[in-house]
Structure formats: C-alpha cells, structure tokens
Amino acid sequence: MNNDKPEYFNLRPEVEKAYGYSHAVKIGNSIKISGAVSMNDEGGPTAVGDFLQQMKNCYSDLDKVLTHYGCTFDDVVVENVFTTDMQAFLEHAEYRNSIYTLQFPTGSWLEVKGLALPEFLIEIELEVHKPQ
C-alpha cells in the first residue's frame, strides 16, 4: 500500500471548487488543512461582526475535517491564525484552552489586511500528524 498518495477531502465541495482549493490533503501521516473561516454551506459569511462566534465556527469546521481523518485537536502540530483584528483575537485567545486540552501546537498569529471576504475576521489553518 502506497501511503504517499495524496488523499483529498472537501468539506464544502461546491464552494471549494468555486474558490479553487481543497479543504485538506493527507499524505502519509501528515494532513494539511486549509484555513477555515466562518461560512455557511453556500460560502457566505456567518456571525458577521462577532469575532468570538467566527472563531468558534472556524474550530467547528476544523473539527469536522479532523474527525473525517480520525483525528482530534490533540493531533494538531501546527496552527496558524490569520486575523484582521489582532486585538480582538488576543481578547478571545483563551477560548483555545477549550480546544487544546493536552498541549498547544506550534504556529503563528498574523494580523492581515484582509481575508477572502471582507466580513471574515479570522482564518485558522492546521497541520496534523496522524499517529499510526
């Protein structure tokens, strides 16, 4: 069995096709997960103006991708956060304590000028190591 063959996963196939990305790809024991934003199944922004709820929605989508691969947030080794409002992220960063209960992954927190849609305030991408 060749486990180096990429295995792609689409959480919202139509939206991902329209934007030109796959939500995740697994190669061997490594999984790269595209940035999750607060969107509905049609790709429209949700929780507009509510930073904490957008953050929760990101983690909810990421959890769905992790579950697809039989993983949890305990398997995450890199988390990169992109936000248009670092101050708001810092005010709500403690929410991550409910996500990462064993240890925190490596990663970066970056304030950016904009995300895919102006209503998006935060985007979170992950890298995962899936144990054998």
List Cβ<8 Å contacts ≥24 apart for 58-61.
58/122, 58/123, 58/124, 59/99, 59/124, 61/11, 61/36
2 part of a folded domain: no
- pLDDT single digits (tens) 81-127: 999 999 999 999 999 999 999 999 999 999 999 999 999 999 999 99
Residue count of the chain, please give it: 132
pTM to 2 decimals?
A: 0.95
1 part of a folded domain: no
Q: So what's the pLDDT on residue 107?
A: 98
SS (H, E, C) 54-122: HHHHHHHHHHHHHHHCCCCHHHEEEEEEEECCHHHHHHHHHHHHHCCCCCCCEEEEEECCCCCCCCCCE
Closest Cα partner for 34 from 11, 18, 55, 60?
A: 11
121 part of a folded domain: yes
100 part of a folded domain: yes
Displacement of CA 61 from its chain's centroid (Å): 7
Mean pLDDT across the chain, nearest whole number?
96
59 part of a folded domain: yes
98 part of a folded domain: yes
Distances, alpha carbon 76 to alpha carbons 55, 107, 119, 131, in Å: 17, 10, 27, 11
**Number of domains, the chain:** 1
- For position 72, which CATH number holds? 3.30.1330.40
Q: So what's the pLDDT on residue 118?
A: 97
| Structural domain of 105 | 7-129
Separation CA 27–CA 31 (nearest Å): 6
Is pLDDT at 2 greater than 70 in this prediction?
Answer: no
69 part of a folded domain: yes
24 part of a folded domain: yes
Residue pair 44/14 in contact (Cβ under 8 Å)? The answer is no
- pLDDT single digits (tens) 23-49: 999 999 999 999 999 999 999 999 999
